[in-house]
Amino acid sequence: MSFPSRFTLYTYVPSGVSFIRKGDSDDLVPWFEPEDQYTKDPVLPLASVGGGAVSKVYIDRGAAVCPPLLFRASCLNSTDRYNLRASRGTTGTLTRTVPGGGTLSATVFFYKAIRINSGDFSRWWIDVGFELVPS
């Protein structure tokens, strides 16, 4: 048995388990979208300049970092969900295949795998979290 071709398919190796994300729309979870980090440093004047105090705020732009990829996933069966959960704490390759073509892969650290039990026992839900490993 396999997932219908209209779903975006994720595969994590070393477990070799494929899964789909739970979603109510055609929106994709952003694929490790980088965000710029910055800090604001206010500098207060040491003395008045021309009768008035002048203060400035300097913005220090840091590195671009990628937030973790977090979503609720569905496995095909309880064995796949168990095997995926058992690979938590490992580093491996996460691949996303979009219907109609288009594949992205990245080296990730798999840090979150929480089983979700619901009344819909035809779905094997699991909350997953992946952190991008810089290359």
Q: What is the pLDDT of residues 62-73, one digit of tens each?
A: 777 888 999 999
> What single letter denotes the amino acid at residue 115?
R
pLDDT for 112 equals 96
What does pLDDT average to over the chain? 83
| The token pair that represents 108 in the structure block | 């990730």
For the entire predicted model, the pTM comes to 0.75
- Residue 44 has a pLDDT of 64
Segments of the chain with pLDDT less than 70: 1, 23-29, 44-54, 119-122
For 30-49, what is each residue's pLDDT tens digit?
788 888 887 777 776 655 55
* Strand, helix or coil for residue 34: coil
* Coil/strand/helix, residue 86: helix
C-alpha separations of 32 from 1, 18, 77, 83, 111 in Å? 30, 19, 27, 24, 15
